[in-house]
Each structure stands twice: as structure tokens, then as C-alpha cells.
Amino acid sequence: MTETILVTGGAGYIGSHTTLALLEAGYDVVVLDNLCNSSNESLHRVAQLANKAALFVEGDIRDAALLDSLFAKHPISAVLHFAGLKAVGESVREPLRYYENNVAGTVTLCQAMARAGVYRLVFSSSATVYGEPTQMPIREDFPTGVPTNPYGRSKLMVEQLFADLAQSEPSWRIAALRYFNPVGAHHSGQIGEDPNGIPNNLLPYISQVAIGKLAQLAVFGNDYPTVDGTGVRDYIHVVDLADGHLKALQAMTSRSGLHIWNLGTGVGYSVLQMLKAFEQANGLTIPYRLVARRPGDIAECWADPAKAEEELGWRATRGLTDMMADTWRWQSANPQGYAVAAALNEPLSA
Ligand code: NAD
Ligand code: UFG
């Protein structure tokens, strides 16, 4: 029988790629998204690519009555929970909005799930919960650290909430996936990352310099104890990340309690290595300047992905060249992101 999955935040960057993977794998999908950081144009594109549409519901995870009606109307067997706010700097300025969306929103969602008797949940956590680990690569059994901002703390709080929930009620089957640095886009160039305003993250910034929207990249710090002094991260292709969600969703049919998996490649690259890789993959030159460190940044961070490989049978297969070429295919075909196409489209409705 076809399973129906509720995807919160499914119009967003990672949620749209995962919705596509779910549809391609034969699932039915209900997307709940309030579009506060996305456009449902992403879901029009997903429908074209999959030749099958997700049902889109514009609404908020904090709306308990709406959640109850969705669980009553659709035979939902599990929830992939992407909805949340993710801008670190904004979380420092507006902590209440972050705790309300990310923590209280998750509480409201879990309450509705429990009322509906749906206990299988896959959650978007982050490597930020490790704080500043002293050892690399990072394993899931390392102690969680002290995230440096409200966004990071909201992710850690949700993980702690899940641990308590799983302890209190054995029906819960929860996967918390700790993403490292998601980048790239679907190979078609039809869906990708479409940040609002000036991007905070490295790859969207580089690709907006490449398209001529921004003048040059500022490299934040070249005095870290790393290969070339610039920060090192574990960049993971968003399509690999989407596949990891399907594997976790399947794994949670036969497991109970809270399970935590790193989703990373196991390899770290510096900012300058990323810049060079983007230039080489796409035959472009990206102007940059070296500036001071960004407050709150850590020197390096990469995953030990062995647990996900052993327990989920998942590993990242797409390398740096794919990440760079796919990012640029998306950006160059959609210089304004989804904005122009979205203005021409009729709204999708439930
Ligand atoms: P995104 O902003 O593109 O997607 C999040 C989606 O959730 C958006 O479509 C937004 O409109 C929606 N949303 C936000 N609050 C909502 C609410 N209250 N009700 C309904 N919908 C709501 O971000 P993304 O990069 O796709 O991230 C998805 C998840 O993964 C987030 O929880 C994020 O914190 C987490 N994560 C992202 C990264 C990253 O670098 N992109 C890293 C680690 C973890
Ligand atoms: N960087 C620059 N210039 C930029 C942007 C970034 O030099 O314009 C550097 C950063 O200093 C860092 C690296 O590029 O060394 C990656 O930075 P990102 O902002 O792309 O990613 P972060 O690792 O800092 O942050 C990501 C997510 C956060 C999450 C954090 C920890 O965006 O949401 O990982 O998991 F909290």
C-alpha cells in the first residue's frame, strides 16, 4: 500500500529535494509550509520532475487545529519535519521567534502526532549541536556542546525534548539527522537553494558573486589552524541528504526510541578549496578578499558518517565537482531564484 508522508517545510531548500525523492520512490506526500522562507514554485517544479504532485497546504506547524485536520483527512504514516527558521544572525536578534517556531512549533507538531497516533518522525537537526568539538571527525556519541546562538540552542532543545518523549512513550520512533553543510541542487537545475536577501552561507554567496549580484566574496578569517588558514566544513550534496531521509524513514519502521545519525561525507574542505573547486568546475573566476573571522564560527567541522552507513546503508556519493556544477546550473538558469516564475504561476492549493 502506498504510504502517505507529511513533510513540514517541504517547499524549502532541503524539503523540496526530499519531497521529490519521496515522490520518485512512490510515496504520496502532503506538504505543510507557511512559505515564510520559500515559494511554492519549488513544488510546481518538483511535480514536473516527478510527474506526480505533492498535495500542498499553506499553513503553520504552530496551528494545532490545522494539524488535526490534516491527520484526520489523510492516512499519514510518518512525518519528515523540516519546518523551522535557520538564520543564525537573525536568531540572535529575534530569539523568541526562533524558539517559538523551532521549539514550540515542534511541541505542537508532536502533540498533534500523538493525538493522531502517528509516532514516526524524522527531524532536521544540525552539526551545530556539537558546539566546538576538540576532535575530528565527529561521531554521534561525542557529547553535545554549547551552541553559540539561539538557532543552535533551539536544535539542541528539540533533540533533548525528543529524548524525553521517547523515554516517556515507547511508541515514538524518532530519527534526528545531524546535517553537516548542505549544498548543491538537483541535477536538472530546476530546484535549488533560493535564500532571501544576501546569503549567509558560503556556496550561495559564491554563486551570487558568479552571477554578478554580489561583487566579491569575503573570506572570513585566514588564521585558523587549518590546511590554509580558512574554515573547514563537511559539505554534503542536498540530493545525498534527501536520500538519507528516505533511508532513515525506512529504518524507523523497525526501530523505536530516538536514533541520531550524522549526515555528512566525512571529508572537510576549506573556504579557499571550495572557491577553487567552484572556479574549476564551472570555468569561472570569483573575486574575493580576506577579512576578519566571523564571530561564532569554529575552525573546522567534519563528520564521521560510519554509523549512517552501517545502520542505514546510506553514504554520500556526490563529490565536490557535482556540488559545484549543480549549484551553478541552478543559479545560472534561475538568476532570481523562484521569483520570476512564481509571479507567473497560479497558486497551488490543498
Ligand atoms: P528553508 O528555509 O529553505 O526551509 C524551511 C521551510 O520551513 C521553509 O519553506 C519555510 O517557509 C518553512 N517554515 C518555517 N517555519 C514554518 C512554520 N512555523 N510552519 C510551516 N512552515 C514553516 O531551510 P532548509 O535549508 O531547507 O532547512 C530545512 C531544515 O533543516 C531546517 O529545520 C533547518 O534548520 C535544518 N538545517 C538546515 C541546514 C542548512 O544549512 N540548510 C543545516 C542544518 C539543519
Ligand atoms: N564563509 C566565508 N564567507 C561567507 C560565508 C561563509 O568565508 O560569505 C565561511 C565561514 O566562515 C565558514 C564556511 O565558509 O568557514 C562555511 O560557512 P557557512 O555559513 O556556509 O556554514 P557554517 O558552517 O558556518 O554554518 C552551517 C549552517 C548553520 C549551522 C552551522 C553548524 O549554515 O545553520 O553550519 O552546523 F548552524
Place 148 in a pLDDT band, splitting at 50, 70 and 90: confident
Q: Which helix (H) or strand (E) holds 259?
A: strand 257-263
Atom of ligand 2 nearest to the CA of 274: 14
Which ligand is nearest to the Cα of residue 127, counting in written order?
A: 2
The pLDDT of 70-78, averaged and rounded, is: 98
Nearest to 326 by CA among 250, 238, 243: 238
User: Which band of pLDDT confidence, cut at 50, 70 and 90, is reported for residue 134?
Assistant: confident
CA distance 105 to 94: 16
Quick check: 315 pLDDT over 70? yes
Ligand number nearest to the C-alpha of 203: 2
Residue located nearest, by CA, to atom 36 of ligand 2: 128
Task: Work out the average pLDDT over 292-315.
Answer: 97
**Which of 98, 151, 179, 269 is an active site residue?**
151
| Distance (Å) from CA 182 to ligand 2 centroid | 10
CB 34 within 8 A of CB 63: no
**pLDDT at res. 340:** 72
Residue 308 CB–ligand 2 contact under 6 Å: no
Residue with CA nearest ligand 1 atom 30: 124
**Within a 10 A sphere around the Cβ of 116, how many other Cβ atoms?**
17
Q: Assess whether pLDDT exceeds 90 at residue 344.
A: no
As a whole-number percent, the residues of the chain with pLDDT over 70 amount to 97
**pLDDT above 60 for 81:** yes
> 98 catalytic, yes or no?
no
Quick one: average pLDDT of 105-130?
A: 98
Angle between helices 202-210 and 320-333 (to 10 degrees): 50
Predicted confidence at residue 346, as pLDDT, reads: 55
At 1 the pLDDT is 78
Q: What is the pLDDT of residue 343?
A: 67
Per-residue pLDDT, 129: 97
In short, whether 125's Cβ falls inside 6 Å of ligand 2 is no
Ligand 2 contact via 205 beta carbon (within 6 Å): yes
Going by pLDDT thresholds of 50, 70 and 90, the confidence category of residue 107 is very high
Global pTM reads: 0.97
pLDDT of 347 strictly over 60? no
DSSP result, 80-100: EE--S---HHHHHH-HHHHII
Do β-strands 269-270 and 232-233 pair in parallel, antiparallel, or remain unpaired?
A: antiparallel
Q: Which ligand 2 atom is nearest residue 179's CA?
A: 35
Residues 236-261 pLDDT 10s: 999 999 999 999 999 999 999 999 99
